Structure 1
């Protein structure tokens, strides 16, 4: 796929994971692509050039698995792959899980959620933080609707709601921060906070 066909916001993903695979090609290579996802490789899949999804390893699934999460045997998913990409693109379904012999091996998510998600190597898994004695505080920020003046101009921009996960060590210092539109996404994005720049001042 030529770069001009890639939506601007998804270009960082193409640079990171390689060109997207058209859904018909993905159907032909389905078993190979699922095996690659099981090994940790992300594959971008596109349908009709404007519907995008990502085939990912289970470690990239932010949602807590429950009976509500659509789950398909790998062999069954091949025949309805275009439909599954369409559902993901429309945000009607956040994640589709694929199984072999009843075991989850890969999943499909909206490609856009990966754009600003920290790289796996930069994340600090919640389980590991808790095992090391850290404390994780979960916060919901409700946002606000914004305000419009009498003349119809926007006086105050609306703020979206979000979840935050903050991990603290035994001295109450922040060791990791994660923010997302679901609790699972916030936990998956836990990573060390950006370093605060300090400027040394010469002695007077």
Structure 2
């Protein structure tokens, strides 16, 4: 078999290559809580960071992501999607490491077993700072994408049990966006994308609130 050489006569093995890692920002919103992220504790250094791993020889990126979530965070059944490739040669103090970052958004109930664990935890994104290997940059990009998703659709990732009240939907969007939303303006923006169920639910004193589902 003829060894491949490029126009300059070099083989693929003549070029230096970066290590390839996958790192995943798993975002959620606990009931009544702020936008939060899943972190894992490194077994060697003891610090908290995003779940990630180096890609093994012959392994697909998607398989490496699921392996890291299972082995390091103890979570399965997630469906992360590629977010961005972080390729600054100086981003990782371990060496030249290219990170293919991923994002997943899941209901807090799927991560309940990780809360308070010695190996993994769910913390507000505002507290998840100072992470190694450029993980702060990955988290910022994930949060920006997550917020962009919510600016154009009601609960686009299905974090709320359906059906839900307009108040619950607004509370979710406020947690995600990190800002207060005017009730009337929010309602006008969301109603065209929702289907009223005709049912109502009690939300404390006063008239029961209408229940909605996202319009397919």
TM-score range normalised by the length of the shorter chain: under 0.3
Question: Greater RCO between the two (CA within 8 Å, min separation 6)?
Answer: 2
Larger radius of gyration, structure 1 or 2?
2
TM-score for both structures, normalised by structure 1: 0.24
